[in-house]
Each structure stands twice: as structure tokens, then as C-alpha cells.
């Protein structure tokens, strides 16, 4: 059982706390938020099972606390994350890991220096459908990767400290890194539109990797919520629609085949095949992420969404931010 103090009980922090409290692998010792109204709300949910504080610092030296979960806005989270790891405590940090690559690198290095588990909550890596797609790619069932076409759109919330890309595409870049086995893009392009604040509320990101392409659309100004990942492989293609309650994954045994023997040079034809929807039991990706973090802490293991992985994702987003400025 890993004893966790959570900092931040906002919109997402409420989900994190609920899962930490409900899991048999973790114990929610305390909730910290600078807003008293949020703590009052938390108290209605957790009663006297946890402590409620506005200051996290006394817990840094508490030997009964193994780890912290940090679920506050990105900008102020850097300094707090440093304090937590400097105190030798393990850290579950919400995405994005940092607002720039310098801070991400600093956190990653600190985690290594202090020998603590740094787990970035790239929640999609712990989603059963992404796990299934990863297995399909690793076993050769998908073939070589050709493209990722990803759309993550909803109406709000408009964040003030990061843009839509840092808020949303961060999930998709983590997924591409995970499925492709750590490939990094050699070319990044991005365009965006600033409406309702200083940050881009809509961004289109295009990335060229060795052998495949990715297009990632992130929006806070869409009338509909969409969470769709289409992946084209040379053998099969898949669509993961996370807005569906069931049947989220569709596998297309379809593609393009070389028909040059039949037609002569440079002739290709479409190959149609079965369309299948595999049964994949539902799992809560956030619960998986938290329990996997606890497993890493208890067994002294590196998380798959560790600092190295987090830095790679933020490095791409930093490059994309530069392109947003150039293309503005």
C-alpha cells in the first residue's frame, strides 16, 4: 500500500483522488488545495478518512508519506514537483509534465539523482484499447506504420497557462511514442488560432517520423466532443473511438496491395477484407495509471511514462510552439 498526499482538488484532481482512495494499492492520506471551497467539497466526499490542508510542506518530511500526486495547473507545478522530489518522495505528476523542455529535463534529472519514481500521467498509455493496438503493432499484425490521424476536440475548458496542444495533443504524442516504440519526429509543423485568451484554443500539428506521418488536431472550441485515433498500417488499419461506450476499437483488414504483376509497373489496388470489433473488457485508464505508479514505487521500477518519456513529448511540443509563432 502506497501512502499518497494529493495536491490539487480541482476538476481533474477530484477524479485522481477518487481513484487513489478507492484502490487497494494506494492510500489517500491527505488532500491539499489552496482553495478552501474545494477542500470543503472534498470533505463531503471523503469525510474524516483523509486530512485536509492548504499547505503541503509539512508532509514533505513525514516518514509515513511515500508519494505525492500533483494535479494543479502546469505553470506552478514545476517548483512544487522539485520540492517533492528533493524531499525524496515519489511523484505522480499530471500531464503536461512541464510547460517547457528545460523544466521537463530538470524534473527528469532530479528524479534520477534522488532515485524516486517520476510517473507522468499520460493516461492513454494505460487504456486497454491502446494496449491492444500496441500488441497488434508489436506482433506485426498492423504491419509497418504509415499514419496516425488523431482528433481530440471538445468545448472548453479554456486553460490560461497552456494552449490546446499542450493540454490535449500531449496525450496523442505520448501514444505515438509508446506504440511506435519510441520513434521521434524529424520534422514538426504546427498552426493554431488564438481565440478567448492568450493561448491557442485550436491547433493542428503535423509530424514526420521515419516511415510514417502524424496529424493531431486539438480543440477547445468544438461543438462536439471527439476522441478519435485512426492508425494506418501496411497490413491493417484501426479506428479507436473513445466517445463510444462500447465497441471502441474497429479493425479493418484492408489496405493497398502492389498489383504490378497483374497490371504492369506502378499499379496498386485496394484490398478489402474483414472489419472486426474485438471484445475488450472495460478498464479505467486513470485507475490503471495510479495502480501502475504504486507498483513501480513498491518494486523500485521505472514507469513507462517516466521522465525520459515525458521529456520526449514536451520536446516535440516545444518545437511545435516555435512553429506556431513562426506560422502566426
Ligand X SMILES: NC(=O)c1ccc[n+]([C@@H]2O[C@H](COP(=O)([O-])OP(=O)(O)OC[C@H]3O[C@@H](n4cnc5c(N)ncnc54)[C@H](O)[C@@H]3O)[C@@H](O)[C@H]2O)c1
Work out how close the CB of 105 gets to ligand X at its nearest, in angstroms, rounded to a whole number: 18
Helix (H) / strand (E) element for 213: namely strand 212-219
Q: Please, which residue, 79 or 109, has the CB nearer to ligand X?
A: 79
Residue 41: CB minimum distance to ligand X, A: 9
| Binding stretches for ligand X (CB under 6 A) | 7-13, 32-35, 38, 71-74, 76, 94-95, 121, 123, 167
- Minimum Å gap between C-beta 114 and ligand X is 21
Whether omega for the bond prior to residue 57 falls within 30 degrees of 0, making it cis, is no
Measured from the CB atom, the residue of 174 and 238 that comes closer to ligand X is: 174
Of the two residues 95 and 321, which places its CB atom closer to ligand X in the complex?
Answer: 95
Residue nearest to ligand X (CB): 10
- Distance CA(229)–CA(34), nearest Å, equals 37
Instruction: Rank residues 158 and 230 by Cβ distance to ligand X and give the closer one.
Output: 158
CB of 184 to ligand X, least distance (A): 22
Closest separation in Å from C-beta 120 to ligand X: 9
List of residues 6+ apart from 115 with CB closer than 8 A: none
Q: Tell me if 305 sits within 8 A of 107, measured CB to CB.
A: no
In the sheet where 118-120 sits, what is the strand order?
51-53, 26-32, 2-7, 67-70, 90-93, 118-120
Measure the CA–CA gap between 206 and 214, rounded to whole angstroms: 6
Q: Which is nearer to ligand X, 111 or 237 (CB)?
A: 111
Which residues make beta-bridge pairs with 202? 193, 219
Residue placing its CB nearer to ligand X in the complex, 123 or 311:
123
What span, in angstroms and rounded, lies between the C-alpha atoms of 213 and 148?
6
Q: Which three cell numbers stand for residue 284?
A: 479505467
Closest to 316 in 3D by CA, of 152, 104, 154: 104
Least distance between ligand X and beta carbon 300 (Å): 24
- Under 8 Å between Cβ of 246 and 236: no
Amino acid at each position: 500500500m502506497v501512502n499518497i498526499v494529493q495536491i490539487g482538488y480541482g476538476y481533474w484532481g477530484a477524479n485522481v483522488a477518487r481513484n487513489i482512495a478507492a484502490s487497494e494499492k494506494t492510500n489517500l492520506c491527505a488532500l491539499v488545495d489552496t482553495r478552501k471551497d474545494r477542500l470543503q467539497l472534498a470533505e463531503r466526499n471523503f469525510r474524516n478518512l483523509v486530512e485536509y490542508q492548504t499547505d503541503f510542506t509539512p508532509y514533505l518530511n513525514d516518514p509515513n508519506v511515500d508519494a505525492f500526486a500533483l494535479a494543479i495547473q502546469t505553470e506552478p507545478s514545476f517548483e512544487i514537483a522539485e520540492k517533492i522530489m528533493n524531499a525524496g518522495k515519489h511523484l505522480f505528476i499530471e500531464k503536461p509534465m512541464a510547460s517547457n523542455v528545460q523544466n521537463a529535463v530538470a524534473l527528469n534529472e532530479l528524479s534520477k539523482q534522488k532515485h524516486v519514481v517520476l510517473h507522468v500521467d499520460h493516461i492513454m498509455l494505460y487504456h486497454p484499447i491502446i494496449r491492444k493496438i500496441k500488441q497488434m503493432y508489436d506482433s506485426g499484425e498492423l504491419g509497418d506504420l504509415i499514419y496516425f490521424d488523431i482528433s481530440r476536440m471538445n468545448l472548453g475548458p479554456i486553460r490560461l497557462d497552456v494552449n490546446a496542444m499542450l493540454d490535449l495533443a500531449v496525450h496523442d504524442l505520448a501514444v505515438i511514442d509508446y506504440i511506435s516504440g519510441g520513434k521521434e519526429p524529424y520534422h514538426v509543423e504546427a498552426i493554431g488560432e488564438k481565440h478567448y485568451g492568450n493561448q491557442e484554443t485550436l491547433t493542428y500539428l503535423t509530424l514526420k517520423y521515419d516511415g510514417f506521418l502524424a496529424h493531431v488536431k486539438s480543440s477547445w472550441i468544438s461543438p462536439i466532443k471527439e476522441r478519435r485515433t485512426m492508425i494506418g498500417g501496411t497490413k491493417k488499419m484501426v479506428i479507436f473511438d473513445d466517445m463510444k461506450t462500447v465497441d471502441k476499437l474497429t479493425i479493418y483488414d484492408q489496405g493497398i496491395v502492389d498489383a504490378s504483376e497483374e497490371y504492369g509497373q506502378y499499379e496498386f489496388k485496394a484490398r478489402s477484407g474483414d472489419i472486426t470489433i474485438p471484445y475488450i473488457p472495460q478498464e479505467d485508464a486513470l485507475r490503471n495509471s495510479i495502480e501502475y505508479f504504486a507498483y513501480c514505487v513498491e518494486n523500485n521500477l521505472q514507469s513507462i511514462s517516466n521522465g525520459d518519456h515525458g521529456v520526449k513529448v514536451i520536446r516535440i511540443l516545444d518545437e511545435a510552439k516555435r512553429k506556431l509563432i513562426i506560422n502566426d
